Amino acid sequence: MKNHGAYAYSFDRDVYTGSFDTRDAALNAALERVKWLPAPITTVYTAHVTSGDPLASGHAKVVVDRMTRAARERHGDDAQGYLKVVSPKQLHELDVSLETVIKSWLARNGLGPSFNTAQAVCEHAVPLVPETPHDTSSSREVGVMGEGFDWQDGQG
């Protein structure tokens, strides 16, 4: 789900549908959809939905470790000191740079997360839909199967 709005609705609190500007708009859409579902729904959920975390941060240490191993594999003992002393500040700088590059690459290639994070979930009871009113145009009601009863004159 792409996020144009900030709110969505769910019938199971796991899968959220839609993208609405307000919680009320999401709730109204859910209540409209409930009318068309084959099974009765008693509760709907609305939530503030944000795009999922692309997990683009925290890779600096892995990259430095991989570069160190690759240098040792290629150059043997001559590479023993390569990237041996990387400070926490330097790792942080690398991580910020990598995160920027990774997010840009994801966006450029349309590979961003397709999952979302739902926060501030609200539970809403679905109002009972009244049954279709009975046809009152006829004063006859079935009393015994196949026979009618006329309530006006008390005759069957």
**CA distance linking residue 118 with residue 47, whole number of Å:** 6
Same domain, 35 and 19: yes
Which of 103, 95, 66, 98 minimizes the C-alpha distance to 83? 66
The shares of helix, strand and coil residues in the chain, as percent rounded to the nearest 5, are 35, 20, 45
Same domain, 93 and 120: no
Same domain, 16 and 45: yes
- The mean pLDDT value for 93-98 works out to 97
Instruction: Say if 38 falls within a structural domain.
Output: yes
Total number of domains in the chain = 2
Instruction: Say if 13 falls within a structural domain.
Output: yes
Which is more confident, 80 or 139? 80
Same domain, 102 and 121: no
> Could you read off the pLDDT of 11-59 as tens digits, one per residue?
998 889 988 999 999 999 999 999 888 888 899 999 999 888 899 999 9
- The mean pLDDT value for 88-94 works out to 97
Instruction: Say if 151 falls within a structural domain.
Output: no
Q: What percent of the chain has pLDDT over 70?
A: 79
Confidence of residue 74 (pLDDT cuts 50, 70, 90): very high
**CA distance linking residue 20 with residue 26, whole number of Å:** 6
User: Which pLDDT score is estimated for 156?
Assistant: 53
Confidence of residue 114 (pLDDT cuts 50, 70, 90): confident
Boundaries of domain holding 45:
7-53+114-132
Q: Model-level pTM? A: 0.55
Same domain, 90 and 119: no
Average pLDDT of the chain to the nearest whole number: 84
Instruction: Say if 156 falls within a structural domain.
Output: no
Same domain, 99 and 122: no
Confidence of residue 130 (pLDDT cuts 50, 70, 90): low
Structure tokens at 18: 């839609």
Same domain, 48 and 15: yes
Same domain, 31 and 102: no
